[in-house]
Amino acid sequence: MKRRTQLAGLLALPMFWLVGIYIFSLIMLLATAFWTTDPFTSKVKPGFTLRNFEQLIVNPAYLSTAVRTLLIALAVTALCMLISVPLGIFMAKIAKPWLRGLLAVAITLPLWAGYLVKILAMRVTFTDEGFFNWALGPFGITGPSFSVTTVILTLTYLWLPYMAIPVYTAIRQLPANLFDASADLGAGAWRTIRTIVLPLIKPAIIAGSIFTFSLSLGDYIAAKFVGGSTQMIGSIIASNINLNPPVAAAFAVVPIAFVVVYLLSVQRTGALERM
């Protein structure tokens, strides 16, 4: 009996949080997606309709925004991988301890600064009279201005630590003699990275990609401040949140669906069990 009381004491707050706040609010969101809105008063009326989901497919602007958001999230994830793997190899296997420490700080630094601060930093860099054009303009290079490209760069800037840290840690944990053994058996550096390093750090890359992918899908502030006219799923949710909550809710289901599909496809490769 005493054990039960102790257990209840231990779990009361976490369970209230998980079930009462976290799961319940998600279920409410899902439920709202099937409700309707009074077109005159904008009042939400409980009921059951699939019209909100129909909108996502029928409305070309909605559909293209969903596709664009998916492509942006994939591009951010790919870019984070392309940066993290070579960086992780350099930090874990080549860099001297002082340089490794310096790079670790450089990677985690963006985590310490506020989210809006970083977006504004990118805005200052890429605005027409900004640093990028000022520095490279004399060479005839003009920046991407505020566009999809800048959104991808900004999101990469925001989420890189979530990929770079697990990838670096995984490479650090690879036994040094696997590198020696691969070279000993005739493999050059590139071969070793492809056939030994990448397969062994796949779980870390996938762990990181879940963050970069899902965080990118959910973001809209970057699109708002550095995207010019770029719209993402989040932009549409934000503009409907007061006018038409059921449409916003239906659209909110889309990123969740993307992440679920992503997790399922990753699971098929067997990488999740080793995480």
Partner 1 sequence: MSSPIAATMASTTAAGDVSLTGVTKTFGDMTAVRDLDLNVPQGEFLSMLGPSGSGKTTVLRMIAGFEDTTSGSIRIGGEDLTRVPPHQRPVNTVFQDYALFPHLTIAENVAYGLRVRGQSKSDRSDAVSSAIAQVRLEHVSSRLPHQLSGGQRQRIALARALILRPRVLLLDEPLGALDKQLREEMQIELKSIQREVGITFIFVTHDQEEALTLSDRVAVFNNGRIEQIGTAREVYEYPQTEFVARFLGLSNIIPARTVEQLTGQARVVSVRPERVRLLTDADATSGNDIVLAGTVAEIVYTGPTTRVLVDTADGLRLITETQNSHHPAADVEVRRGDRVRVAWTDDHSATLP
Nearest to partner 1 of 39, 175 (CB atom): 175
Q: How many CA atoms lie within 13 A of 119 on its CB side?
A: 16
Choose the stretch contacting partner 1; rule: CB under 8 A; options: 11-19, 125-133, 139-147, 185-193.
185-193
Q: 104: which 2 tokens? A: 């670790």
Told to check if 104 binds partner 1 by CB under 8 A, we report: no
Told to check if 180 binds partner 1 by CB under 8 A, we report: yes
Told to check if 99 binds partner 1 by CB under 8 A, we report: no
Site for partner 1 in 156-175 (CB under 8 A): 175
Which of residues 178, 257, 264, 275 is near partner 1 by CB under 8 A? 178
Angle (CA) 206 156 221, round 5°: 115
Q: How many CB atoms lie within 10 A of CB 268?
A: 9
CA distance 202 to 206: 6
Nearest to partner 1 of 189, 243 (CB atom): 189
Told to check if 184 binds partner 1 by CB under 8 A, we report: yes
Told to check if 94 binds partner 1 by CB under 8 A, we report: no
Angle between the 60-89 and 198-218 helix axes, to the nearest 10 degrees? 140
Nearest to partner 1 of 62, 179 (CB atom): 179
**Residues near 11 by Cβ (< 8 Å), separated by ≥ 6?**
none
Site for partner 1 in 236-265 (CB under 8 A): none
CA distance 265 to 48: 31
Told to check if 200 binds partner 1 by CB under 8 A, we report: yes
Q: How many CB atoms lie within 10 A of CB 140?
A: 6
Nearest to partner 1 of 109, 183 (CB atom): 183
DSSP letter at 143?
Answer: -
Q: Is 53 exposed, middle or buried (0-12, 13-18, 19+ CB in 10 A)?
A: middle
Q: How far is the CB of 192 from partner 1 (least distance, A)?
A: 9
Q: How far is the CB of 86 from partner 1 (least distance, A)?
A: 20
Q: How far is the CB of 271 from partner 1 (least distance, A)?
A: 11
Q: How far is the CB of 182 from partner 1 (least distance, A)?
A: 8
Q: 16: which 2 tokens? A: 């209230």
- Binding residues for partner 1 (CB under 8 A): 175, 177-178, 180-188, 191, 195-196, 199-200
